[in-house]
Chains A and B, each alone.
Chain A
Amino acid sequence: MARVVVDVMLKPEILDPQGQAVQRALPRLGFDGISDVRQGKRFELEVDGPVDEAALARIHDLAESFLANTVIEDFTIRVEEVAEAVK
């Protein structure tokens, strides 16, 4: 079994008011030197069966049509091996 991670981020040209609010809170908390924060979403998909090209193509479709709104968001897909459960 494998895990596929889809990261969805607002496109660079889209204003991210939530990220800005986080960034503005940082100096108040004593964290200096962080000039920009952008907030996104991370989806972890547990995939049954092999993560082959066909499976990745399906995940690409699902990310493009559902997980991300490509009018405002970009997404990246990567495969993450799941560590064997400790017995």
Chain B
Amino acid sequence: MTARIGVVTFPGSLDDRDTQRAIRVAGAEPVALWHKDKDLKQVDAVVLCGGFSYGDYLRAGAIARFSPVMEPLLEQAKAGLPVLGICNGFQILTEAHLLPGTMLRNNHLHFICRDQKLRVENAETAWTTDYAAGQEIHIPLKNNDGQYVADERTLDELEAEGRVAFRYVDFNPNGSQRDIAGVSNEAGNVVGLMPHPEHAVEPLIGTGRTDGLPFFTSILKKLVNA
């Protein structure tokens, strides 16, 4: 038996199919979830994917955060359900206060799309165990609102607790404080990041590297061994 991983589609989601494919490539079973679903179809984990849910109106993720599907997701994430938020999914998780801080417009005000070098700072979250701590990886980054901000106390707390999961290396593409690319919650089951691991799982496309695949193999191992 393999793990069933849900991928939520909101109006304006873009990367739901790519995320489902990445889950399949890793050997798990993707389960399509709809923003109006009131239950999570008993999935073992959920990915909130990238895109522009509700056109980024009001703030990125602010309207999606109040979708029906978010109610069971919030409840179960607090009880330990693994949740990964990628890009817009990360923004939704911060708007829902499952993760601290929030994202502002990129400091240079341009949409950015590049292969970004990252360092895995925490290889013990539910989504990063197949990496080594300190490992450097290349993952595509593409967004408008990627500048991570939080107050100094929160940042210090995140650093002290090892909850800065990923940091930009060599180049800070958006003005994120302390080069933060991704963070986790206290328990390590909820992780969010701006770059897109689901676009780096097959050698045929992108940079030819599969540096994003360990996200999906990490969670699969965790769920299957559970």
Contacts and interface: CB of A to CB of B under 8 A. Distances in A.
Interface in B113-160: 147, 149-151
Contact of A15 (B59, B94, B102, B175): B175
A59 B100 CA distance: 24
A14 B103 CA distance: 11
B102 A17 contact: no
A21 interface: yes
A72 B149 contact: yes
A6 B94 CA distance: 22
A45 to B, nearest CB: 14
A67 interface: yes
B175 A72 contact: no
B105 interface: yes
B104 A21 contact: no
Nearest to B63: A66
Given A69-B95, A71-B150, A72-B149, A14 B62 contact: no
B66 interface: yes
A18 to B, nearest CB: 6
Interface residues of B, number: 20
Interface in A34-67: 66-67
B66 A14 contact: no
Contact of B102 (A18, A21, A67, A72): A72
Interface in B46-64: 58-59, 62
A17 B105 contact: yes
Nearest to B106: A17
A71 B175 contact: no
A14 B149 contact: yes
Interface in A1-45: 14-15, 17-18, 21
B108 interface: yes
A17 B147 CA distance: 11
A17 B109 contact: yes
Given A15-B175, A71-B101, A71-B102, 12 more contacts: A14-B149, A17-B104, A17-B105, A17-B175, A18-B109, A66-B62, A66-B66, A67-B58, A69-B59, A69-B95, A71-B151, A72-B102
15 contacts: A14-B104, A14-B149, A17-B106, A17-B107, A17-B109, A17-B175, A18-B105, A18-B109, A21-B109, A66-B62, A66-B66, A69-B62, A69-B102, A71-B149, A72-B149
Interface of B: 58-59, 62, 66, 94-95, 100-102, 104-109, 147, 149-151, 175
